[in-house]
């Protein structure tokens, strides 16, 4: 690909800067032995609900979706949380762990405008960004909420230009969610996909286990590239590789 002029680097939040798997500690504490399965069904359903609500034209913000998908998950597993336990699990969504390479990667990109574009509601995102100190690094935290539709709708990616004053051709969008990387590519952004689980590692994981772990299933469903013919411009194994791409 020809050398790009990148003036803004825009990140997906959940799964890209923030590790959604970090809810496993609190889910397992709440329901010992169920942590992994709760974590995977919850995240799978959460994303499904964004797409289904968008298609039904029944938008509710991401905090409602996150609650509803947790209710779904606990119900199908036959688990009955007290209101206190439910709230404790939900609270982790505003205290998610950053990936270990996130802060350094953002610091290394100073010189570019830096932002989040996320499905999260403004309230959820602002608290999370504040709790993890990213408010001091980011120029903007953009929620799809003003458009009342979720990624990968083009309307979501359209929010970048008016918020940052940077044209799509000068934006590098970064996501580890393959559906999101494809959506951004379809819209016309430059895209770096964070490939945290390579195809080879995936293949090996099937061979290694004699039963299919929920996490392995999740990696197959959400952490491999989609077959839409919308390949990202870059595949990198972690956020640390971004500064070299952008050459700040």
Catalytic residue among 12, 19, 145, 180: 12
DSSP 134: G
* Options 6-14, 70-78, 79-87, 157-165: segment touching ligand LAC (CB under 6 A): 6-14
Q: Is 180 in the site for ligand LAC (CB under 6 A)?
A: yes
Query: Under a CB-based contact definition with an 8 Å cutoff, are residues 44 and 218 in contact?
Result: yes
Q: Is 12 a catalytic residue?
A: yes
Buried b (16+ CB within 10 A) or exposed e, 136-169: eebeebbbbbebebbbbbebbbebbeebbebebe
Q: Is 152 in the site for ligand LAC (CB under 6 A)?
A: no
Nearest to 177 by CA among 153, 150, 152: 152
Shortest reach from residue 118's CB to ligand LAC, in Å: 4
Count of beta carbons in the 10 Å neighbourhood of residue 1: 7
* Options 9-17, 33-41, 64-72, 229-237: segment touching ligand LAC (CB under 6 A): 9-17
Region 87-146 residues binding ligand LAC, contact defined as CB under 6 A: 118-120
**Count, residues near ligand LAC per rule CB under 6 A:** 10
Query: Under a CB-based contact definition with an 8 Å cutoff, are residues 161 and 168 in contact?
Result: yes
d(CA 7, CA 166): 7
The residue at minimum Cβ distance from ligand LAC is: 14
Nearest to 114 by CA among 181, 163, 176: 163
Nearer to ligand LAC, 35 or 120 (CB): 120
Region 14-73 residues binding ligand LAC, contact defined as CB under 6 A: 14-15
- Binding residues for ligand LAC (CB under 6 A): 12-15, 118-120, 151, 177, 180
Any idea which residues carry the catalytic annotation?
12
């Amino acid at each position: 690909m020809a050398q790009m002029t990148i003036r803004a680097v825009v990140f997906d939040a959940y799964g890209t800067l923030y590790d959604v798997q970090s809810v496993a500690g609190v889910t397992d504490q709440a329901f010992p032995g169920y942590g992994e399965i709760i974590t995977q069904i919850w995240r799978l359903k959460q994303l499904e609900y964004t797409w289904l609500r968008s298609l039904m034209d029944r938008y509710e913000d991401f905090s409602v979706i996150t609650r509803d998908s947790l209710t779904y998950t606990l119900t199908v597993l036959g688990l009955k949380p007290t209101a206190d336990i439910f709230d404790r699990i939900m609270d982790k969504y505003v205290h998610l762990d950053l990936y270990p390479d996130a802060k350094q990667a953002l610091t290394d990109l100073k010189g570019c405008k830096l932002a989040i574009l996320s499905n999260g509601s403004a309230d959820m995102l602002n608290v999370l960004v504040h709790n993890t100190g990213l408010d001091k690094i980011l120029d903007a935290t953009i929620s799809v909420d003003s458009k009342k539709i979720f990624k990968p709708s083009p309307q979501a990616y359209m929010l970048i230009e008016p918020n940052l004053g940077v044209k799509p051709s000068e934006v590098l969008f970064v996501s580890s969610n393959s559906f999101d990387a494809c959506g951004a590519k379809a819209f016309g952004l430059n895209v770096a996909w964070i490939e945290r689980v390579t195809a080879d590692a995936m293949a090996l994981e099937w061979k290694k286990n004699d039963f299919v772990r929920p996490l392995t299933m999740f990696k197959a469903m959400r952490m491999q590239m989609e077959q839409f013919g919308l390949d990202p411009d870059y595949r990198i194994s972690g956020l640390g590789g971004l500064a070299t791409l952008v050459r700040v």
